[in-house]
Amino acid sequence: MNLSYKRILPLLLILALSFTVRALTANFMRAHLNDAGWFQWGSFAVFDGQAQNVLDGKESFFWIPDASRTDLMQYPPGFRLWMATIYRLTGNRSAVSVLWVHMAIDSLAVFLVVGIGAVSYGWTVGLVSGTLAALSPLLALSGVTPSADAPTSWLVLAGVLFLALAARKRSIYFACTAGAFLGLASWMRVNPLLLFVPWSIALFLILPATRRQRLAMSLGIVLVTLLVISPVVIRNLVVFYPEVAPTGLNVGWNLLAGIGETERGVEFGAPCCDELAARRTARINVSGWNSSRSRARPPRAGHYQESPNLVCGRNGQAHLGASEIRRKTVAVSRQRRHQRHCAKDSA
């Protein structure tokens, strides 16, 4: 009983710290939802329109009936389903409802950090890690922001916890569970998908077990991860073939934009500056952009602004935000650096 008390009390203190920091951060974010420097309301508007269409029965959260709707393939379908669920449960279709739900869940997610540290290195390391995670302003900001990053991070942390358990218990079931959480995280954002490669390699090369056990656990992570994400890949192949983007568009688009910043951007037809990149993105997403309900609504209190370039003041006059000025400064410097390539690409 004494040992349990010594463990429960620090966990309660960590939870209190985590909730306090995230509540304060969420209150700050709520006051800055109209500021593009803190909140990407342009991206949120896309998810918001899709989630509301799902709730209203206008679109499926998963299936894409029209190959011209490339906007629905830009991101995996998990986050719009997550947002639609929050809207349904809270009865509030705005960024504020997502913000407060994320705040509550992220406050509890620090226990995953405690578990990872405790399983891997002992209770002392777990408690210290949980305390640092609870106090971290960067983790709090990422956790409460209404974006796909927060639920993705929770699922990845759960996967890491089961990966640590699999290594400690030599259990293929824990390894498969880690792969399942990694696959679910990829339904939110495709970025963590390839984590199954280092995870499986690490288990096979480092784990002190028989070759058969190591191979089984490594293959379990690989196969379960790919199995969980396979419906998204199959949907994209069926709907958009022969133009194939297995998991989405954003990873490839970021790569293309990065190539455009180099001298060989023209060779690959990549945009050389922010202006051209924005122009091409608008062409790619034009069908979904026009059909989004959130673009037609006026901004509400506590919601995001609709204009991608302007922040509206209380006097009703539009003025450029400081973040927009910084963005334009960076864009101008890039344009000067690649002026010759921009001229060729524009022609």
Provide the domain count of the chain.
2
Query: Is there a domain that residue 80 lies in?
Result: no
Which tokens sit at 87? 């809207």
Looking at residue 335, its pLDDT comes to 55
Mean pLDDT of 224-230: 94
Q: Which of the pair, 274 or 152, is modelled with greater confidence?
A: 152
Looking at residue 344, its pLDDT comes to 53
Give pLDDT tens digits for 236-256: 888 877 776 666 666 666 677
Residues 257 and 237 grouped into a single domain: no
Query: Is there a domain that residue 224 lies in?
Result: yes
Three-state secondary structure along 5-60?
HHHHHHHHHHHHHHHHHHHHHHHHHHHCCCCCCCCCHHHHHHHHHHHHHHHCCCCC
pLDDT at 120 over 60: yes
Residues 335 and 308 grouped into a single domain: yes
**pLDDT over 90 percentage in the chain:** 47
Mean pLDDT of 301-323: 37
Looking at residue 218, its pLDDT comes to 94
Average pLDDT, the chain: 79
Tell me which H or E stretch contains 319. Answer: strand 318-319
Looking at residue 270, its pLDDT comes to 72
Give pLDDT tens digits for 165-199: 999 999 999 999 999 999 999 999 888 989 999 99
Residues 307 and 259 grouped into a single domain: yes
Which tokens sit at 221? 């992570």
Give pLDDT tens digits for 33-80: 888 888 888 788 888 988 999 999 888 888 888 877 777 777 888 999
Query: Is there a domain that residue 26 lies in?
Result: no
Mean pLDDT of 263-291: 57
pLDDT at 226 over 80: yes
Among residues 231, 247, 263, the one where a domain terminates is: 247
pLDDT at 328 over 60: no
Residues 243 and 283 grouped into a single domain: no
Among residues 226, 247, 268, the one where a domain terminates is: 247
**Residues found in the chain:** 347
Mean pLDDT of 92-114: 95
Query: Is there a domain that residue 213 lies in?
Result: yes
Residues 224 and 256 grouped into a single domain: no
Q: Which of the pair, 305 or 139, is modelled with greater confidence?
A: 139
Query: Is there a domain that residue 239 lies in?
Result: yes
Q: From CA 145, how far away is CA 129, in angstroms rounded?
A: 22
Predicted TM-score of the model (pTM)? 0.74
Q: From CA 168, how far away is CA 295, in angstroms rounded?
A: 50
pLDDT at 84 over 80: yes
Confidence band, pLDDT 50/70/90 cuts, at residue 279? low
Query: Is there a domain that residue 74 lies in?
Result: no
Enclosing domain of residue 203 = 155-247
Residues 315 and 236 grouped into a single domain: no
Of 45-54, 68-77, 314-323, 325-334, minimum mean pLDDT range: 314-323
Helices within the chain (DSSP H only): 2-31, 41-55, 78-90, 95-121, 123-135, 137-144, 149-169, 172-188, 196-206, 211-240, 250-260, 274-284, 286-291, 322-337, 339-346
Q: From CA 35, how far away is CA 22, in angstroms rounded?
A: 19
Looking at residue 34, its pLDDT comes to 86
